[in-house]
Structure 1
Amino acid sequence: MGKVNTVCIASDCFCPDAGGVENHIMAVAQCLREMGKRVVVLTRYRGERVGVRYMLNGVKVYYLPLPPMPDVFSSGRVTLPTMTSFFPLFRDIVLREGVDMVHAHQAFSTLGYECLLFSQVLGIRTAFTDHSLFGFEDGSALMMNRIMEMLVSNADAIFCVSRVGRENTVLRGRLPAAKVSVMPNAVDATAFRPSPLPAQQERIVVVAIGRLVLRKGVDLLARIIPIVCARLPHVDFVIGGDGPRRVVVEEMRDRYNLHERVRLLGKVEHHDVPATIRSGHIFLNCSFTEAFCIAVLEAVSCGRVVVTTDVGGVAEVLPPTFAYYSQPDPEEMAAVLVEVVEKEKYKVDVDALHGFVASSYSWRRSTADMVDVYEKVCEDMPKRWKDKANIMAGYGPIIGFIFILAFSLLSLLSLLLSHLRPAMEVGRSIDIAEERWIEKRGKGKVGGGTATT
C-alpha cells in the first residue's frame, strides 16, 4: 500500500469552537498521532488565536489570518474564498510539512474546498468527509449540492459518518457509490463514563445539550417543554448550549413562568459535558436533521436513556432498547417523553449502556479504517491534468469552462511559484512534538485537547 506519513486536515470547523465536526476532527487527529502520523490542521483564525499552535500530543494547528465571510451569509463561521491569494501560503505549508494527504471536512467549509482544489493542482492526494444532510428543494441546499459536486468529484477518497449520509452525499454530488466510504463517529468512552442516576428521585431532570439553532430543533424543544411540564409537575429541564435561537427558549420560559423548572446553562465546555449529562435522568435530542448525532452516543455512554427525533442517521446509532424515537412533532415527542418518565423506563443498567458504546464505537478503529482507505487510493495512479479537466467539463458548458480556466490559472501560478521559490528552497519543519508530547501508544487520551501559547 502507498504510505501516508503526514495528513493535513482542512476545515473552518475546529477548536476552540464546540460541535460534532470539531470533536470529530480533534479525535481523528489524536488517533493519527497515536498511529505515528504527523498531523497538521488548517483552520480560520479566532479572535487573538492567530498563527501556529500545538494541541495535545503535538497536533500542529495553523490558525490562518484569512478574512471571514460576511455575517449575512455565514455568521462569520467560514472564511471568505480567496481564489488565488491563499495559494502561495498553502503551497509553502504543504511543502514545509511534507504533506501526503489533504483531508477537508464539512460541506459548507469554504476553506476546506479551497484546500481540496489547491491540493489537486499541486498533485497531492485528497479526501473529503461530509458531516451533514442536505435536501433537494430549497435554493440554498441546491447551491450547496452543486458546489460540493464540483469541488469534491476530483477527490481521491470520500467519507460519510453514516449510511444515510452516504446515500445523501452520493445523490447530492452525483458521485460513484463505490468511491464513498462510511466512517462512523465515535465517542471517548473513558471520558464519558457512567454513573448511577441522581439520588434525588422526587424530581426528574431532562437534559438537552447542543447549539441553539433552528437545525438542532430549538423551536421544537420550546414547544415540548410546556406540554411536559403541564402533565408532569415533578419534571425539570436543563438546557446546555448557546446560539441565535436561545431567545425562543427564554421567551417560552417567561410566557409559561417556568423559571424554576427550566435552567439555561449557556455554552458548556466539552470537558464539562459528561458531568452535565450525568446530572440528569434522561437525555433529550430534538434535532430536525442529523447525519449521525454524537450527542446521543455520549449520553448513552454516560448511562442515560435517550429520547430523540427519528431523523437522518440517528436510528443507525442506537438500538431501540437504549433510545426512544419520535417524529419531530411536539405532541408526539412530549407523549414519548411522558411515557418514559411515568413508566420509569429511564431506570436501566448504566454499565450495560456504557459497555455497548465502548464496544461498538471506537475512534481508533474508525481512524485505522480511514488510513487503510488513504493508503489504498495512494496505490492508484494519480489523475492526469487531462482526466481532471474531463471531470470538470462534465459540470456543464459554462461552469465547466470556468473551472477549467481557474484550474489552468492555478496551475500556471504553481509553475511560477516553482520557479520563484523552488520546493528545495522551502525549509522542512521539524516535528518538535515527537519526543516531548507523544504519549505511549494506546495510552493517550482521545477526543480532546487544549492549545498551548
Structure 2
Amino acid sequence: MVSDFFFPQPGGVESHIYQLSTKLMDRGHKVIIITHSYEDRTGVRYLTNGLKVYYVPFMVLYRSATFPSVFSFFPVFRNIVLREKIDIVHGHASLSSLCHEAILHARTMGLRTVFTDHSLFGFADAASIMTNKLLKFTLSDVDHVICVSHTCKENTVLRASLDPLMVSVIPNAVVAENFKPPSNSNPAPAEVSRGHAFSQPAPPARQLGPHDTITIVVISRLFYNKGTDLLTAAIPRILENHPNTRFIIAGSGPKAIDLEQMIEQNVLQDRVEMLGPIRHEEVRDVMVRGHIYLHPSLTEAFGTVIVEAASCGLYVVCTQVGGIPEVLPSHMTVFAKPEEEDLVAATGKAIAALRANKVRTELFHEQVKSMYSWTNVALRTERVYNGISGAISDAEFYGYDASLNAANWSATRGRSGVQSFALIDRLKRYYGCGIWAGKLFCLCVIIDYLIFLCLEILFPRDKIDTCRDWPRKTLNEEKEPGVR
C-alpha cells in the first residue's frame, strides 16, 4: 500500500488503508505500507499484528502530499519492494505523489498495480485539469482501479478516460464496535483530554423534550471543499432559529479562523465549542455528546465520517453531493443542497424530527453494523488482486467474455484483461494521452526504464537482503463470510 496519507495523520484515506491492510493480513497476505515521514516518525514502524510501515523521509509540499520528484523515489522504492518480496503495489488517493510514482516504478519493475480513488474532482479549474492529466498518465498503465462509490467511479472514468470494466466499486466501511452509542442505563463517562475538550459526559439515549438542548456535532478538516464557509454562514441562523441548540466543532485547517471570527462577532462562545484537532480514537467520544451530525461538504466521494456518526446513534444532516446519497438509507439522513438556505432548513427539519421523537436513532448502530464490514471490503479487494494476477478467469472477473472485445484488449495486453509489461506496449498506452502530454509521458517512461536498468547493474538483486516475515495470526477461512 502506497500513499502520502497515513497515520499519525487522521482522515478517511488513512483509516481505509489501515483497516484494509489489517483485514488482508488476517486472511494470510503479507502487507506493508509506504508513506512519507511525519515529524519525528521516520524509518520503519510496526503496527498491529506486525503491519510494517515505511516512513520515507521526503519533503512535504502541501496538505501532507510530498514534492513530486518523479524519479528520486525509485531507488528507495525498488529497495523496499525487493526486500519485502512484493507482488502487487496498491496506490491510494489522486493527490498523493508517492502513489503515482510508485505505480509508475512498479510497472517498470514488472509488478501488478491497483489504484484506489477516494475523491471527486471537477473538469474546469486549473488544479483539476492538472490533476486529471496526472491521473490519466498514471492510470494509462494500471491493472485495475477501485472507487469508493458509483459516483466516484463515473468521475474517475471520465477524468482518466478509462474502460468502465477496469473500474470496480468497493465502498469504505466502519468498525462498528468502535462507534457504539451511549447506553441508556449507563451513559458514557466523562473524558478529559487537552483541557475542556471532553469535560462533559455523553447524553444518555432518551426521548427529547421540547426544551431539552440538542447538540449538533461537526468533525471535519476545516477546508473550503469540506464546506466550512457554508458552515460558518449557517451556524448563526441555526442557533437563532432554535434557541435550545448548541454546536461542537472538531477539526483543524485554514478555515478555522473564519469560524472563530464568526463566534466572536455573534457572541456565541457559550453555544459553539471549538475543540481543535482530535485523534481518530477520540472521534467516538465527541460524537456521543451530540444528537445530530452536520456534514456540509461541497464534494465527497463517500464520507466515512457520516457512517461513524450514524453508528454512534446520531441523526445525520448532509449535503446531497457526490457519493454521499449512496452511503446511508433515507431514514438516517436529511439531505440539503450545498446552499446556506437549504442547509439551515434541513437542520431545522432534523431538530423538529428529534423533538417529536419521530426518529429511532437508537436502532442505527445495529443497522450500520449489518451494512458495512471491513472483512467484506478485504474479500472484494482480494478478488481484484486475483483478477489482475490471472488467478481467476476473465469471464469470472470481468463478468463477460473478453474474446468478444478482443480488438480493444489484446492490442496492448499479453492476455485479455491483463496489462502487458512490454515497454513498447506501455509506450503505446502513454502516447495516446495527448498531442504533447503523450510524448512527455513516453519520455518519462523511457527515463524510468533506463534508471531501472542502471539500478539493476549498480545494485544487483542478489545483493539486497530480504526481510524475514513477521509471525502473525490468521483467521480460519472457513469462518469468513463469502463475497457479496
* Shorter-chain TM-score above 0.5: yes
The code of the aligned residue for 1:241 comes to G
Match of 2:222 in 1: 212
The code of the aligned residue for 2:258 comes to V
Match of 1:14 in 2: 6
Match of 1:427 in 2: 465
TM-score after normalising by structure 2: 0.85
Match of 2:118 in 1: 131
Q: CA RMSD in A?
A: 1.6
Assess if the C-alpha contact under 8 Å between 1:305 and 1:346 holds in 2. Answer: no
Structure-1 separation of matches of 2:133 and 2:438: 12
Match of 1:154 in 2: 141
The alpha carbon displacement at 1:102 in A equals 0.4
- The answer on 1:417 being equivalent to 2:455 is yes
The alpha carbon displacement at 1:440 in A equals 5.7
The alpha carbon displacement at 1:406 in A equals 2.0
Aligned residues: 426
Match of 1:60 in 2: 52
Task: Indicate the SS of the match to 1:84.
Answer: coil
The alpha carbon displacement at 1:233 in A equals 0.9
1:160-206 Cα offsets, whole Å, 9 max, x none, are 00000000000011110000000100100110112257249521101
TM-score after normalising by structure 1: 0.91
Q: Percent identity?
A: 38
Match of 1:106 in 2: 93
Match of 1:386 in 2: 424
The code of the aligned residue for 2:121 comes to F
Structure-1 separation of matches of 2:151 and 2:475: 36
Match of 1:366 in 2: 377
The alpha carbon displacement at 1:375 in A equals 1.0
Assess if the C-alpha contact under 8 Å between 1:57 and 1:439 holds in 2. Answer: no
The alpha carbon displacement at 1:419 in A equals 2.0
Task: Indicate the SS of the match to 2:218.
Answer: strand
The structure-2 alpha-carbon separation of the partners of 1:357 and 1:135, relative to structure 1 and needing over 3 Å to count, comes to same
Task: Indicate the SS of the match to 2:178.
Answer: coil
The structure-2 alpha-carbon separation of the partners of 1:322 and 1:43, relative to structure 1 and needing over 3 Å to count, comes to same
Assess if the C-alpha contact under 8 Å between 2:27 and 2:475 holds in 1. Answer: no
Assess if the C-alpha contact under 8 Å between 1:195 and 1:350 holds in 2. Answer: no
The structure-2 alpha-carbon separation of the partners of 1:230 and 1:382, relative to structure 1 and needing over 3 Å to count, comes to closer
- The answer on 1:84 being equivalent to 2:71 is yes
Assess if the C-alpha contact under 8 Å between 1:194 and 1:350 holds in 2. Answer: no
Structure-2 separation of matches of 1:349 and 1:312: 27
- Alignment gaps of 5+ in structure 1: 1-8, 443-453
The alpha carbon displacement at 1:351 in A equals 4.4
Structure-1 separation of matches of 2:26 and 2:360: 33
Match of 2:282 in 1: 272
Match of 1:356 in 2: 367
Structure-2 separation of matches of 1:369 and 1:65: 33
Match of 1:448 in 2: none
The alpha carbon displacement at 1:226 in A equals 0.5
Assess if the C-alpha contact under 8 Å between 2:5 and 2:14 holds in 1. Answer: yes
The alpha carbon displacement at 1:265 in A equals 0.7
Structure-2 separation of matches of 1:236 and 1:397: 56
1:100-127 Cα offsets, whole Å, 9 max, x none, are 1001100011110000100011011001
1:219-276 Cα offsets, whole Å, 9 max, x none, are 1111111111111111000001111100111111011100000000111211111121
Assess if the C-alpha contact under 8 Å between 2:291 and 2:313 holds in 1. Answer: no
The code of the aligned residue for 1:121 comes to T
Match of 1:319 in 2: 329
- Alignment gaps of 5+ in structure 2: 185-202, 391-414, 478-484
The structure-2 alpha-carbon separation of the partners of 1:329 and 1:316, relative to structure 1 and needing over 3 Å to count, comes to same
Structure-2 separation of matches of 1:64 and 1:278: 37
Task: Indicate the SS of the match to 2:113.
Answer: strand
How do 1:12-411 and structure 2 match up within 5 A? 12-69=4-61, 74-75=62-63, 77-196=64-183, 198-199=203-204, 201=208, 202-344=212-354, 348-379=359-390, 380=415, 382-383=419-420, 384-411=422-449
